[in-house]
Structure 1
Amino acid sequence: MSCVTTALLIFFSFTFTASNNSMNNIMDYNPHCFISGCPTVTCQVNDNTTVQPITASTGYSSTESWTTACGNSSRCLIFCDFCERAFGSPSMDCLSLIVEKICLPDFHDSMLLLNSTDWCIWDNVKSLYSNFSVCTEEVSDCLLIPWPNQLVKEVFVNIHYQYFVECTTEEFSDPPPAIVFALVITPICLIPMMVSLVVLKTKNGDGTS
């Protein structure tokens, strides 16, 4: 892995895991600091050799051309630039890393603020669940990766296994036999009564046919 890739991975991980609201931070974060040459890292090519350290800057030229397609928003450009440098292009591996460092921490932190007994109450978790879903969708859209995809499905399965596996669904039982009998017999009894009324009115000359 190159020095540039290492620097981006370290900086990316530090930036987005140090916040309680990572998705909002990246929206407010200055993209020029992320993309341009703010952080500089020194990498040793091989610890067992005497080669001089290589100093690399994560600089970005505004005239640099994109080799892959990307979403149009400024936040998308940040994501795509990171994927371009760290993975060569927006990919499922890059999506996995961004979801792990941005979307999941917010969801996990919010869930841990609740009691485990509250996890099974939908009103308590629906906003957290929705925010996480939107986060994965926005990042996927930025990287032009179809959503939902296999990665996102696996992440949701893991979330369900971690937080909701103990939740039980309410089972509906059949009503008592007496109620079932009443509901069935009532329309059966009404039919001959209605037929009798029609015949009676016809015999009395009130029918129009």
Structure 2
Amino acid sequence: MATNMVSFILIWAGLAEALVPTCDQDSFESFVRGFCLPQFNKSMESSGYQDSCPWPDVKSHYHALKNCVDLYANLTATACRGWKQGSLVDGFFLEVHQTYFFHCGSQMIQDPPLTTAILLIAPGIIVTLFLPLCVHHLVTDTN
């Protein structure tokens, strides 16, 4: 309880930065782009990502990239995950998705069939229309 109170006071006073290690952005970028990304790039060369979404075929390579980046971020650059730095890990994966998975969004998201949409929407409309009638019926019967 006392440590939580001290942490809260330090955060509130703006002194918590002294307790949190700073993010070594250069080290993070050089490791991830020098070690993790080249292996992923090599595996993506044969995937045909320029023509269509490569997702099901490269899932294992993507998980290997994610594990490599997460391992380094957790071991040495934990501070780089914070909200203040804009999360280097998230920024890195955003670049990877923009480079290799730009075809995936338009192919995988589709509207449901009309019958499915009607079956999902109709109950809400029916309840909305009949609920006032049911309430009116209950109120008038009790009087």
Are the counterparts in 1 of residues 24 and 80 from structure 2 also a CA contact under 8 Å?
no
What is the number of equivalent residue pairs in this alignment? 96
What one-letter code is carried by the residue in structure 1 that aligns with 2:36? C
Q: Which has the higher helix share?
A: 2
RMSD across aligned C-alpha pairs, in angstroms?
Answer: 3.4
Q: How does 1:39-50 map to 2 (within 5 A)?
A: none
Are the counterparts in 2 of residues 119 and 163 from structure 1 also a CA contact under 8 Å?
no
Runs of 4+ in 1 over 6 A off after TM superposition: none
Question: Residue in 2 aligned with 1:156?
Answer: 93
Equivalent pairs: percent with the same residue? Answer: 25
Are the counterparts in 2 of residues 141 and 147 from structure 1 also a CA contact under 8 Å?
no
Are the counterparts in 2 of residues 95 and 140 from structure 1 also a CA contact under 8 Å?
yes
Higher relative contact order (CA 8 A, sep 6+): 2
Q: How does 1:76-115 map to 2 (within 5 A)?
A: 91-115=24-48
Question: Residue in 1 aligned with 2:5?
Answer: none
Once the 2 structures are TM-superposed, how far is the Cα of residue 116 of structure 1 from its aligned partner? 2.3
Gaps of 5+ in 1: 1-88, 189-209
Residue in structure 1 matching 2:109, options 170, 176, 197: 170
Gaps of 5+ in 2: 1-21, 127-143
Normalising by structure 2, what TM-score? 0.54
Deviations along 1:139-163, whole A, 9 cap, x unmatched?
A: 1122151574511111111111111
Change (3 A) 1:139 1:101: same
* Matched residue SS, 2:78: coil
Bigger Rg over Cα: 1
